[in-house]
Amino acid sequence: MTIEVDYRFPPGVDAERQAKIIAIGQTAGSWDARFSHREDVLRSHLGEVVKGITEPDGFSIATIRFPEANVENDIPSLLTMIFGKYSMAGAAKVVAVRLPENYGRHPKLGITGIRERLGVVNRPLVMAIFKPALGLSANDHAAILQEVASAGLDIIKDDEIMADLEVAPTLKRLEACCQVLDQVKQQTGRTVLYAVNVTGAAGKLIEKARLLVREGANALLLNVLTYGFSVLDALAADPEIDVPIFAHPALAGALCASPDYGMAYSVVLGTLMAHGGADAVLYPAHYGSLPFDSAEEARIRDNLRSRNVFPVPSAGIHPGIVPKALSDYGQDVILNAGTGIMDHPDGSAAGVKAFFEALERLRQGQSFNLETLPPSPLRRAFEKWGSGRV
């Protein structure tokens, strides 16, 4: 089995030469007569340049094939091979990685498993974020959860910058919120997922995640790029952590935003997350509050879905963009809103109801023009945000 990687080089770079440097330098390297007796084995570990393309704008794309035997069926060793030392060698960007189907790890639950846990089959899921990000007590979190869960919310998550802080320790937040989750379950029969941000030192993080699950956590949030793909793999592999893992894209811009360096967003947030064990992956939507390319967003979506991983377009999502989102994603999507729910003029419960009203109007083929909307949470959301960017 082999691994194929596409590297894009800007105008002025000798792409053929650089591709050969990668193929040799990132694999077996060169050898002399001392190792002639090992030549067959050494050649089996060499990368190979298999294709080169020059685009109209002067950029060149070279495809290199790597032996799967050079890596350990995980993301860290893969990254070390395809772009480790060479990432410091000059202008080049990894724009696609094609992995064998069995490479890495499939999600433990993914789209089908998350839907089964929630008992929701035929519509998009609606997700909120605790806001403000920092400064709330554990009881504040519980009060917010009570409001949005009672309004029908499917999932809520910690803000990614919420660590295990004295103002609201992780276990205290979980304890307070579990009381609400249990109450909602008893009163309505509905399950609401709370993705708790799991943080801490490497030697303690996995046991901490196990403890959170034992104490009632029914989902986890992980800043994969800051804590590492090995941590994601360990969480996904652990039989005691039988809950979905939501992967946050924090730090992705540092790796992906440059046009000539790093890796494409669709590689990092799509391919690598999909083969790394994530159940759902957050990333910016192109109609949201962060600049993002629509074609790259579509590639992330498709890369994730190919492995049964839930796409979670985020950052500036509000009820007015529901028609655009469903046009792009259909039903298998999690609509993740922070201010789009929490800053609704009539409160966070109204923010949740506005999303469900939008989904229902779309299902019935009704208009989304402000003039035709009756007095309702959706109309109030439209009056504040319209149908475009926040």
Give the residue numbers marked as catalytic: 85
In this structure, are residues 249 and 269 in contact, taking their beta carbons and an 8 Å threshold? yes
State how far the Cα of 106 lies from the Cα of 275, in Å rounded to an integer. 6
Partnered with residue 311 across adjacent β-strands are 281
The residue among 378, 387, 309 whose CA lies nearest residue 345 is: 378
Residues contacting residue 145 through CB under 8 Å, at least 6 positions apart: 130, 156, 177, 180, 181, 192, 194
What sections of the chain are H helices per DSSP?
Answer: 15-25, 39-44, 75-83, 110-118, 138-150, 170-188, 202-214, 224-227, 229-237, 252-256, 265, 273-276, 294-305, 322-329, 339-342, 348-363, 377-385
The residue among 308, 235, 296 whose CA lies nearest residue 268 is: 296
State how far the Cα of 167 lies from the Cα of 100, in Å rounded to an integer. 45
Q: What end-to-end distance do the CA atoms of the chain give, in Å?
A: 46
In terms of phi and psi (left: phi > 0; alpha: psi -120 to 50; beta: otherwise), the region of 277 is left
